[in-house]
Amino acid sequence: MKKLLLFFSLAQIILLMGCSGNGQADGTTNAAADNTAAVASASGEAMVLIETSLGNIKVKLYDSTPEHKKNFLKLAKEGFLDSTLFHRVIPGFMIQGGDPDSKRAMPGQPLGAGGPGYTLPAEIGAKHFRGALSAARQPDQVNPEKRSSGSQFYIVQNGPVPQEQLNQIIQMKGPNFYTPEEIDYYLKVGGYPPLDGDYTVFGQVVEGLDVVDKIANVQRDPRDRPLQDISMKVKVLSE
């Protein structure tokens, strides 16, 4: 089975290299904070807590992605994600976890190919704003339907997107792809727009973006696996 990674084009790599890279919340404005609250409150009431050694991350799951929402709640209730690692972290991009093969993985062991034995149909629509909870998947060459991994996910960490780079993305996506509010959000708060329209976003961090930043900025090996294991425990707070 191929590794479930995020594959990106040259244009996406250019954006990744050109962004600020730290995505720190202390650089946002009051208006940006208001935007964050607005996005966080735009979905349903299902809440999960991702506990880590570096702090906790509280995430709201979207009603607009019912299959992903139901599946993530199921995995959390079963304890499937407990003791899995954030096995791939890239500052200025995202943190990725949910591979069952990462449980008790040896140092340096390649990770990213595991799952529960099934995939999910794409529910693409929500954007990759800073703090977005999204489903990893195999690339289009072997997955033209853009089906999601059954368990692997990533959380977008990147900060504000420079205007020039966002303009390039808008040209590629089309003039009507983003609303003015979404453009404003990317400029003030951040995210990773190159992945919009290609991966399913099914939730949003409502507390703990500082923890996402800490995880993204730990020391890592050439495969972007943290040198010190960062395991998780996922609890359902509400449905």
Q: pLDDT (tens digit, 9 = 90+) per residue, 198-231?
A: 999 999 999 999 999 999 999 999 999 999 999 9
Nearest Cα residue to 89 out of 215, 211, 233: 215
CB 85 within 8 A of CB 99: yes
Q: Which helix (H) or strand (E) holds 37?
A: helix 30-40
CB 80 within 8 A of CB 100: yes
Residue 45 has a pLDDT of 80
> Is 112 exposed, middle or buried, given 0-12, 13-18 or 19+ CB atoms closer than 10 A?
buried
Residues in contact with 28: Cβ distance below 8 Å, sequence separation at least 6, in sequence order: 36, 160, 188, 189
Q: Is the dihedral of CA 97, 103, 109, 111 positive or negative?
A: negative
Residue 37 has a pLDDT of 42
- Structural domains of the chain sorted by starting position, each given as residue range(s) with its CATH number in brackets: 10-100+114-238 (2.40.100.10)
Residue 12 has a pLDDT of 40
Q: In the chain, which residues have pLDDT < 50?
A: 1-2, 5-44
Residue 57 has a pLDDT of 98
Nearest Cα residue to 28 out of 154, 161, 155, 128: 161
Residues in contact with 80: Cβ distance below 8 Å, sequence separation at least 6, in sequence order: 74, 100, 116, 151
What span, in angstroms and rounded, lies between the C-alpha atoms of 79 and 91? 28
Q: Which tokens hold the place of 175?
A: 């003039």
Residue 192 has a pLDDT of 98
Q: Which tokens hold the place of 2?
A: 């191929």
Residue 24 has a pLDDT of 36
